[in-house]
């Protein structure tokens, strides 16, 4: 977080993001609607525009920027953003189970096949020059590879079983959270809250982001132990139930 202060009488400001002028302007418009005193600063050394916000509003502005970025897929993110965005994507137990079980099967099958080939070659059933008597180094290397593959496969299979056990619990929890939210709030109530905070209903694209941010805040307030990326994932599902399902 880089701080700047052009006027000693004003609150210090920190650079939130650097980007092209047009995109910075759109982000400033969104943050301004959200009550952030954002402004554009031109860095002559790097010849690029920077978005600065007061230090006291930096955390809120950073959270709003994340939501804005996630809802703007057609725009390319700065170089450091893709890794950060990938880290924010929630991967549930079901996806982790599928990934680990698939990896486990692959490693176990390959490891077992290598061992079978070595055994058949040692028994002269397969005419391959990879026996201990003919190629001891290659034989030893293949043995090590097969054992390593079997160990990796066993570890992945163990992880897959752990995630499999969590799948039912996680699904039940998500169902309960979504049901609680839909039973507690309506789309009209959320829009009324946004209108009360903003003074009027924002434009459609900004309204969508404000709805998602409000849903996320309500989820984290009611379920403090919920991970932020999990709240984002649930928020999208809840948004569809509250708004898109009614217009379908």
For residue 45, the Cα-to-chain-centroid distance in whole angstroms is 33
* DSSP states of 50-91: EEEEEGGGHHHHHHHHHHHHHT-TTSPPPTTHHHHHHHHS--
Residue 75: its pLDDT value, please?
46
Q: How far apart are CA 111 and CA 156, in angstroms?
A: 14
3-state secondary structure of 42: strand
pLDDT in tens, 140-173: 999 999 999 999 999 999 999 999 999 989 999 9
pLDDT band (50, 70, 90) for residue 109: very high
Q: Which two tokens stand for residue 229?
A: 């990326």
Question: Could you tell me which residues come within 8 angstroms of residue 198 by beta carbon, excluding any fewer than 6 positions away?
Answer: 33, 210
Q: In what order do the strands lie in the sheet with 13-19?
A: 3-4, 13-19, 48-54, 39-43
In the numeric block, the tokens 């880089």 are attached to 2
pLDDT in tens, 195-237: 988 888 888 878 888 999 999 999 999 999 998 889 999 999 9
How many Cα atoms within 13 Å fall on the side-chain side of residue 47? 0
Average pLDDT, the chain: 83
pLDDT band (50, 70, 90) for residue 64: confident
How many Cα atoms within 13 Å fall on the side-chain side of residue 41? 21
Does the pLDDT of residue 50 top 70, yes or no?
Answer: yes
Please count the other Cβ atoms lying within 10 Å of the Cβ belonging to residue 176: 11
Q: How far apart are CA 27 and CA 91, in angstroms?
A: 28
Does the pLDDT of residue 24 top 90, yes or no?
Answer: no
Residue 240: its pLDDT value, please?
92
Name the nearest CA neighbour of 206 among 196, 221, 191.
191
Q: Which two tokens stand for residue 34?
A: 């959200």
Q: How far apart are CA 26 and CA 48, in angstroms?
A: 16
- Write the DSSP symbol of residue 243: I
Between CA 105 and CA 109, with CA 107 as vertex, the angle to 5 degrees is: 65
Residue 10: its pLDDT value, please?
61
Q: Residue 190 in contact with residue 206, Cβ under 8 Å? A: no
Q: Residue 28 in contact with residue 38, Cβ under 8 Å? A: yes
Average pLDDT over residues 23-46: 79
């Amino acid at each position: 977080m880089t701080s700047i202060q052009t006027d000693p009488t004003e609150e210090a400001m920190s650079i939130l993001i650097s980007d092209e002028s047009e995109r910075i302007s759109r982000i400033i418009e969104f943050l301004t609607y959200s009550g952030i005193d954002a402004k554009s600063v031109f860095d002559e050394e790097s010849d690029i525009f920077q978005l600065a916000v007061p230090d006291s509003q930096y955390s809120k502005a950073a959270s709003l920027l994340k939501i804005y970025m996630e809802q703007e897929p057609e725009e390319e993110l700065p170089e450091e953003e893709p890794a950060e965005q990938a880290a924010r994507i929630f991967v549930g137990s079901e996806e982790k189970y599928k990934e680990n079980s698939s990896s486990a099967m692959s490693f176990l099958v390959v490891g077992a096949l290598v061992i079978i080939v070595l055994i058949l070659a040692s028994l002269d059933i397969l005419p391959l020059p990879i026996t201990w008597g003919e190629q001891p180094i290659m034989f030893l290397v293949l043995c090590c590879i097969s054992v390593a593959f079997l160990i990796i496969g066993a570890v992945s299979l163990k992880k897959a079983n752990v995630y499999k056990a969590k799948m039912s619990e996680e699904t039940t929890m998500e169902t309960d959270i979504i049901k609680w939210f839909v039973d507690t709030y309506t789309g009209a109530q959320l829009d009324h809250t946004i209108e009360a905070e903003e003074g009027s209903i924002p434009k459609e694209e900004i309204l969508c982001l404000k709805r998602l941010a409000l849903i996320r805040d309500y989820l984290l307030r009611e379920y403090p132990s919920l991970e932020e990326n999990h709240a984002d994932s649930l928020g999208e599902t809840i948004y569809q139930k509250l708004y898109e399902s009614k217009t379908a």
